Amino acid sequence: MATPNVLILRAPGTNCDLETAFAFETAGAKTERVHVNRLLEEPNRFDRFQILCIPGGFSYGDDVAAGRILANQIIHHLSDAMARFKDAGKLILGICNGFQVLIRSGVLLDGNAEQGSPATLTWNDSGRYEDRWVRLGTDGTKCVFFKDVERMYLPVAHAEGKFVARDEATLNRLAAAGQLVLRYLPLDGGMAGAKRSAGWLGHSEAVPQATDILPFPDNPNGSQANVAGVCDATGRVLGLMPHPERHITRTQHPRWTRPETTQTGDGLKLFENAVAYFA
């Protein structure tokens, strides 16, 4: 199949759906924005899509906690349809609020009854919402979305994006499995940070220690191990806090009027990879 169909999931408070659809279409996909109520009425609607994207926003106002209410609906009403989608070898992408939903619903990282969720996204160390650009590095080749991507420059815009694992063992396990696929890098170009963190920039064996956490604003929220994005064990489900759909064209770059910038946005490749996966 040449042109994958992308389901852009909409819920009350979703607000990055249009530009996310635009990014997928620029990358060559077909998109349809579907309200969660339509899926609740008819979970089989999932089946005719190849990619599911939960875009950014404030689903249900982020009331109680970011992404919690939509995650709750997925757990209670859509978990079978979601599992079927995943098992069919399709792709799932959660951006910002979508990442929060994927992690809280257990779609991204399986939990178990005794121990609960392996990780969470909690309040930024700054205690508030912030919109700023970050430098990112990918780790390993596991994730479909990051094929041939090493570095990206993207904006984050969130209040609850600090990645915290349940315990150190869980963090180690995720790192060893290559699932901590996207990390914040120093804004100065990555040299200082790259040296210090050589262990986890390659195929990681060494688990980052707490002392490796980059200072604000390199790591904008205080995430453990500087984690900005996580994939599941298959590499086909990705959640990330930064917004790739906000860096598709040159003029979205905060310094496009300066000599140093490039012609296309770093975020486009992620969507192109998703489309190419079905080529």
Partner 1 sequence: MLWEVDIYPAQGQPNRLAEDATAGATDLGFPSSIDVEAAQGYLIQGNLRPEQVERIAAELLADPVVERTVIARVGDARLAQPPEGRPLLIHVLPKPGVTDPVAESALRAIADFDIPADAVRTFKKYWIGGLSDDDVTALVPKVLANDAVEQVIAGPLEFEHLEVGSPYEFQRVTVPLGELDDEALLKLSRQGQLFLSLAEMQTIQAHFRDLGRDPTDVELETLAQTWSEHCSHKTLAGRIRYRDENGETSYQNMLKETIFEATQQIRRAAGPDDDWCVSVFEDNAGVIRFDDYYNVVFKVETHNHPSALEPYGGANTGIGGVIRDPMGTGMGAKPICNTDVFCFAPPDTPADEIPQGVLHPRRVMRGVVHGVRDYGNRMGIPTVNGAVFFDRRYLGNPLVYCGNVGLIPHDQSFKNPQPGDLAVALGGRTGRDGIHGATFSSAELTHQSDELSGGAVQIGNAITEKMLLDVLLVARDRGLYHAVTDCGAGGFSSAVGEMGEKIGAEVWLDRAPVKYEGLSYTEIWISEAQERMVVAVGEAQWDQLSALCASEGVEATVIGRFVPTGRLQLKYGDHEVADLSMDFLHDGRPPVVREATYAPPPVVEFPLPANDTEGYTDSLQEILGSLNVASKHSIIRQYDHEVQGGSVVKPLVGSNNDGPGDAAVLRPVLDSPRGIVIACGMNPCYGDFDTYHMAASAIDEAVRNCVAVGADPARIAILDNFCWGNTDRPETLGSLVRAARACHDLSIALGTPFISGKDSLNNEFRPEDADEPISIPSSLLISAIGQVNDVARCVTMDLKTPGNRLYLVGLTKNELGGSHFAQVESLAGGRVPTVDAPMAKQTFAALHRAIDAGLVRACHDLSEGGLAVAAAEMAFAGGCGLRISLDRAPASDGASHPAVLLFSESNTRLLCEVRPDDAHAFEMALAGVPHAVIGQVVDEPTLRIVPGDDAAPLIEADIETLKQTWRKPLAW
Task: Say how far apart CA 104 and CA 225 lie, in whole Å.
Answer: 19
Preceding omega of 217 cis (within 30 degrees of 0)? yes
Q: Determine, following the binding rule CB under 8 A, whether residue 166 of this chain makes contact with partner 1.
A: yes
Stretch in the footprint of partner 1 (CB under 8 A) among 1-9, 31-39, 42-50, 171-179? 31-39
Q: Determine, following the binding rule CB under 8 A, whether residue 254 of this chain makes contact with partner 1.
A: yes
Q: 268-276 and 17-26 helices cross at what angle (nearest 10)?
A: 60
Q: Determine, following the binding rule CB under 8 A, whether residue 61 of this chain makes contact with partner 1.
A: yes
Binding-site member from 132, 150, 202, 262 for partner 1 (CB under 8 A): 132
Amino acid sitting at position 50: Q
CA-closest candidate to residue 179, choices 148, 214, 140: 140
Contact 29, 20 (CB under 8 A): no
Q: Determine, following the binding rule CB under 8 A, whether residue 128 of this chain makes contact with partner 1.
A: yes
Residue number, 61 or 89, with CB nearest to partner 1 = 61
Residue number, 65 or 276, with CB nearest to partner 1 = 65
CA atoms within 13 A of residue 110's CA, in its CB half-sphere: 7
Residue number, 62 or 266, with CB nearest to partner 1 = 62
CA-closest candidate to residue 108, choices 133, 145, 137: 145
Positions in 208-227 near partner 1 (CB under 8 A): none
Q: Determine, following the binding rule CB under 8 A, whether residue 63 of this chain makes contact with partner 1.
A: yes
Task: Say how far apart CA 65 and CA 79 lie, in whole Å.
Answer: 20
Looking at the DSSP bridge assignments, the partners of residue 5 are: 30
Respond yes or no: is residue 41 known to be catalytic.
no
Q: Determine, following the binding rule CB under 8 A, whether residue 47 of this chain makes contact with partner 1.
A: no
Task: Say how far apart CA 234 and CA 110 lie, in whole Å.
Answer: 12
Structure tokens at 29: 């996909």
Residue number, 61 or 202, with CB nearest to partner 1 = 61
Respond yes or no: is residue 245 known to be catalytic.
yes
Q: Determine, following the binding rule CB under 8 A, whether residue 22 of this chain makes contact with partner 1.
A: yes
Q: Determine, following the binding rule CB under 8 A, whether residue 69 of this chain makes contact with partner 1.
A: yes
Q: Determine, following the binding rule CB under 8 A, whether residue 261 of this chain makes contact with partner 1.
A: no
Respond yes or no: is residue 96 known to be catalytic.
yes
Q: What is the DSSP string of 208-223?
A: PPGGGPPPTTTSSS--
Longest dimension (CA), the chain: 55
Q: Would you mind telling me the total number of residues written for the chain in this entry? A: 279
Stretch in the footprint of partner 1 (CB under 8 A) among 6-14, 46-54, 178-186, 231-239? 6-14
Q: How far is the CB of 215 from partner 1 (least distance, A)?
A: 15
Residue number, 73 or 273, with CB nearest to partner 1 = 73
Q: Determine, following the binding rule CB under 8 A, whether residue 116 of this chain makes contact with partner 1.
A: yes
Residue number, 136 or 144, with CB nearest to partner 1 = 136
The catalytically annotated residue of 143, 158, 243, 253 is 243
The catalytically annotated residue of 96, 158, 160, 231 is 96
Structure tokens at 156: 């984050």
Catalytic center residues? 96, 243, 245
